Amino acid sequence: MSLLELIARADGRGLAASGLACLDRCLPPPGTGGDPEPLRPLWASCESGAEWAARLDGAHASLEAAAESDAVAARVRALLGAAPRDFAAVPLRAWAEACSLLALDVHREFDVPAGGTEVFRGPGREDGGPLVTGELRRQSDILATLAETAGSPGGGAGLRRVLDLSTEGRRVLRAVVSRRARGRGRSVTSP
């Protein structure tokens, strides 16, 4: 099943967690004294939507206070600010799609070969480079895990797995960005 099909079938929980995971992977490392995981409070809201709007506002305020000048951080802040306050599948679907595209754009920027992201989200997705292919697989695994654990007792284990997948993806992307920055003799300011 393609990523687009998985997004189309996901419930509110899956869409919220998927979108949040995409944004989480794209955040640049925090500056000195910055919160290393400013989106962490939102994860608890993904299970049932409890306090979703308030936690969105808190996470957005935290990112605004950090005010990273990085273009990717600005896009993450914009998407977080545009997140629907209503924890329902219909408004969350468009937001999760936008978050998916951002994550794929960021991975494509550091991948070889570079190309459009829409092609990679459909059936011909194997044409992407290793970073984009890994990100597509990660997004698909996240949505599949959440679909399998939806409505089941202990569904929080599915969210824990999603958080682990997202953290692993963030480490991979940051390692690539750091290597490239060292190769160019610059400090790391991107994801």
pLDDT tens for 109-156 read 988 755 544 445 555 445 578 999 999 999 999 999 999 988 766 567
**What is the distance between the terminal CA atoms of the chain, rounded to a whole angstrom?**
28
Has residue 167 been placed in a domain? yes
Q: How far apart are CA 188 and CA 179, in angstroms?
A: 9
Query: Which range of residues forms the domain containing residue 57?
Result: 3-184
Give the total number of structural domains in the chain.
1
Has residue 143 been placed in a domain? yes
Q: Does the pLDDT at position 40 exceed 70?
A: yes
The average pLDDT across 26-34 equals: 77
Has residue 180 been placed in a domain? yes
Q: How far apart are CA 108 and CA 118, in angstroms?
A: 11
Has residue 107 been placed in a domain? yes
Q: How far apart are CA 117 and CA 131, in angstroms?
A: 12
Has residue 189 been placed in a domain? no
Has residue 191 been placed in a domain? no
Q: Does the pLDDT at position 22 exceed 50?
A: yes
CA 85 to chain centre: 18
Has residue 190 been placed in a domain? no
pLDDT tens for 45-63 read 998 899 999 999 999 888 8
CA 178 to chain centre: 19
142 phi/psi in degrees, rounded to 5: -60, -50
